[in-house]
Amino acid sequence: MSGPILVFDSGVGGLSILEEVRKVLPDEDYCYLFDNARLPYGELDEQELIDGCESLIAATVDKVNASLVVIACNTASTLVLPVLRKALNIPVVGVVPAIKPAALYSKAEHIGLLATPGTIKRDYTHSLIKEFASSCQVELFGSSELVLLAEKKAAGNIILQEEISQLLYPIKASALDTLVLGCTHFPILKDEIQEYLGDEVLLLDSGKAVAARVSSLIERNVKLKTGNKEMVALYTQEIEEGLKKSLAEFGFSSLSKVQTG
């Protein structure tokens, strides 16, 4: 029988993607792999990120006999997809910032992209803006601090509104009407972000689009269901008890550290 769908991210942000995929494919087995030893990815050298992701993901694909890989990380997707697609003989799905729908939904033609510094500076991101949002005023906001806040919330810690407001003040001041959450960590903070920016700002992410793509590929490959609905989480650095509890509540029955390098 076919192996699990492998979902990869630097931290717990990819859970926002996994949640959407599970909604459309509830009977699949899943392996969630996160490289928290090198979090946040937005601060890494490009070649270090590419080499590290390729070796870690390829080794895990072999270990769990994965049937499909989802790179649930915008920063990694902008760099490692071509390399992984050459290295692996299974489908690889990446995450693309929701620039296209943002441009379509924005009534003021004034949109923003909130992402990691790495995603903000990539040529790939600027090509998306040029192709799909050339008629819009586009603001770019880079933050690694929000990634760490999302990790903090996922571990069960309280996020203060002051922490959000300090990071998002420039976005509120810009008066845009549509904001793309261009990092999979950021939907974890969606309620806090929406509360601070107000309901007049539309927040968009790529979760449902990725889920639809994964579903189409699984159906095309006529994957045999194992029927176990197993949920396994793997990480590269020990995690605190609060996060272990959150992962168990999410549905993971097995949590373990993997070796890197």
Ramachandran region, residue 197 (left: φ > 0; alpha: ψ -120 to 50; beta: rest)? alpha
Instruction: Give me the catalytic one of 31, 53, 136, 183.
Output: 183
Was 74 annotated as part of a binding site?
A: yes
CB 139 within 8 A of CB 112: yes
CB 49 within 8 A of CB 78: no
Query: Parallel, antiparallel, or unpaired: how do β-strands 110-115 and 137-142 relate?
Result: parallel
Was 206 annotated as part of a binding site?
A: no
Does residue 53 have an active-site annotation? Answer: no
Was 184 annotated as part of a binding site?
A: yes
Q: How far apart are CA 103 and CA 117, in angstroms?
A: 21
Was 41 annotated as part of a binding site?
A: yes
Does residue 31 have an active-site annotation? Answer: no
In this structure, is the dihedral angle defined by the CA atoms of residues 178, 75, 253 and 85, taken in order, positive or negative? positive
Helices then strands, each counted (H, E), the chain: 11, 10
Ramachandran region, residue 139 (left: φ > 0; alpha: ψ -120 to 50; beta: rest)? beta
Was 10 annotated as part of a binding site?
A: yes
Was 42 annotated as part of a binding site?
A: yes
Was 116 annotated as part of a binding site?
A: no
Instruction: Give me the catalytic one of 31, 53, 73, 136.
Output: 73
Please give the annotated binding residues, written as ranges. 9-10, 41-42, 74-75, 184-185
- Catalytic residue positions, numbered: 73, 183
Annotated binding-site positions for substrate: 9-10, 41-42, 74-75, 184-185
